[in-house]
Amino acid sequence: MKVIKFGGSSLADAIQIRKVCDIIISDPDRRIVVVSAPGKGVNDPVKVTDMLIAAAQAALIEGDEAGLSAMETVIDRYASIARDLGVTEVMEEIAADFRARIRLDRSHPTRFTDAVKAGGEDNSARLTAAYLRTLGCRARYVDPGKAGMILSDDYGNAQILPCAYELLRESLSGFDGVAVFPGFFGRTEAGETVTFPRGGSDITGAILAAAVKADVYENFTDVDYVYSANPHQVKDPKPIPLVTYREMRELSYAGFNVYQEEALLPVFRAGIPVNIRNANNPSCPGTLIVSERSAHESDVRVAGVACDKGFTSIYVNKYLMNREVGFGRKLLQIFEDEGISYEHTPTGIDDMTIIARSEYLSGGTLPRVVSRITAELGADDVQIHEGLSLIVVVGEGMKHAVGVAARATAALSRAGVNISMISQGSSEVSMIFAVDTGDALTGVTALYDALIG
């Protein structure tokens, strides 16, 4: 049995939904289908989820009238898709659902916004199920709340609760047609609608695949493969046919957004392979994400090179730091107190550097952190380096290879890129270089050419 998920671009209009439904019915193992809300399409520049967020904002700020009028634009978009698919009868239910959502209680703004946002996926599932039925497929819409998608009450950032898996397994087994399950949301234990972070339909699919112990989780998007570099950064990068969960996690962390990074955990724990495929080119086998590669396949030392900008480094120096037990804890405590999540902490004998995303240090936080480090830890020197990018070279095979770091640093040196920091954990699944953002593209290209191209 396969769990299969379609992203917003695959459901943007009737032409796309027809392709999606052909894919579903071409394989009888495709029994649980997760759908996103319609995304950007040829004639639709805005994702439905963004339209819904704007409608919720309008209702919150300007009141009922403004919310309802913004909602009518969303309803029109569904009506036009339903018309083109010849399933106009489903529109009565869809329009009523959207109008009811925008009239919900607004006393808790994030809860209200989640309930409105969730309508995009919910009604996308009603529409897709209705169209599948016209093709003779026994498809039914599944209500995630009733099916047991029980989530934490972190609105806009929910997590699955452990009890959900068994509930979902029970409610999804025993149906021999196609279950069309809306992505992106579930309900809290108190029964409120709550959503995952953006891109969260990938998480829904991963949870369902783990719950029903699917043979594979097929994640259909709009690219043929995950590529070994971002095509906007490197020309014609090589496709990656096979990648491990850990490699994929590292690549997503550093800017590969083909697959929502939180969506790896449920399938990783259950050991279910994920197949990233293209709904516009279903004959392409796509990228398979698996637990491990065999020895032969491990010949691929470096799977990909990724890069993300927007980092700041805070260098702290104190003479005889190496003898001061607890210095690292006290330094990191300051970051914890300030609510800053840090990314890396390379160290020297008498120095420690903290690299964090610059967005966490804005609005007066950075000067406060610096003065606390000086005052509370007695640091001799604190230096700030803003505008950094991290280039990440990813590959489980690097562990068994000699000289990857030498080739990487030689390539950066030939390209004239100054390295501000190098970090490699002993797992050797990735090697990270911090460089000035102005040098980042040159660095990515140099590393790609030297290690992959």
The size of the interface with ligand ASP (CB under 6 A), counted in residues, is 14
Nearer to ligand ASP, 202 or 396 (CB): 202
Cα–Cα distance, 228 to 452 (Å, whole number)? 8
Which positions ≥6 away from 286 have C-beta within 8 Å?
A: 224, 225, 275, 276, 277, 278
User: 93 to 122, contacts with ligand ASP by CB under 6 A?
Assistant: 120
- Min separation Cβ 11 and ligand ASP, Å: 9
Toward ligand ASP, which CB reaches closer, 262 or 351?
262
> Whole-number minimum distance, CB 196 to ligand ASP, in Å?
7
Number of Cβ within a 10 Å radius of residue 139: 23
- In the list 201, 221, 353, 445, the residue contacting ligand ASP (rule: CB under 6 A) is 201
Q: Quick one: which of 67, 199, 237, 395 contacts ligand ASP (CB under 6 A)?
A: 199
d(CA 406, CA 394): 15
- Beta carbon of residue 328, minimum distance to ligand ASP (angstroms, whole number): 37
Residue nearest to ligand ASP (CB): 201
Separation between Cα atoms, residue 429 and residue 392, nearest integer Å: 10
Q: Is residue 8 a contact point for ligand ASP (CB under 6 A)?
A: yes
| Residue 79: CA count within 13 A, CB half-sphere | 10
Told to check if 230 binds ligand ASP by CB under 6 A, we report no
Q: What angle do CA 396, 398, 284 make, to 5 degrees?
A: 50
Least distance in angstroms from the C-beta of 348 to ligand ASP: 41
Q: How far is the CB of 71 from ligand ASP (least distance, A)?
A: 16
Please tell me what DSSP assigns to residue 237. Answer: P
When the beta carbons of 36 and 113 are compared against ligand ASP, the nearer one is: 36
Going 83 to 85 to 89 to 90, the CA torsion angle's sign is: negative
Radius of gyration of the chain (CA): 24
Residue 49 as a binder of ligand ASP (CB under 6 A): the answer is yes
Q: Tell whether residue 47 is a contact of ligand ASP (CB under 6 A).
A: yes
Residue 49's contacts (CB-CB under 8 Å, 6 or more residues apart) are 8, 37, 39, 117, 120, 184, 198
- According to CB under 6 A, which one of 41, 200, 266, 443 is a site residue for ligand ASP? 200
Q: Which is nearer to ligand ASP, 260 or 287 (CB)?
A: 260
Q: Which stretch binds ligand ASP (CB under 6 A): 96-104, 194-202, 310-318, 358-366?
A: 194-202
Return d(Cα 16, Cα 21) in angstroms, integer: 9
Contacting range for ligand ASP; rule: CB under 6 A; set: 139-147, 171-179, 196-204, 243-251 = 196-204
- Give me the least distance between CB of 442 and ligand ASP, in Å please: 32
Q: Please identify, using beta-carbon distances, which residue of 201 and 353 lies nearer to ligand ASP.
A: 201
Strands 139-141 and 178-182, by their bridges, are parallel
CB nearer ligand ASP, residue 98 or residue 184: 184
Q: Is 27 helix (H, G, I), strand (E, B) or coil?
A: coil
Q: Say what angle helices 440-451 and 404-414 make with each other, to 10 degrees.
A: 130
Q: Contact between 184 and ligand ASP (CB under 6 A)?
A: yes
With CB under 6 A as the contact rule, the residue among 41, 144, 145, 183 that binds ligand ASP is 183
Rounded (10°) CA dihedral 186, 191, 192, 195 = -10
Q: Which residues of this protein are in contact with ligand ASP, per CB under 6 A? A: 7-8, 36-37, 47, 49, 120, 183-184, 198-202
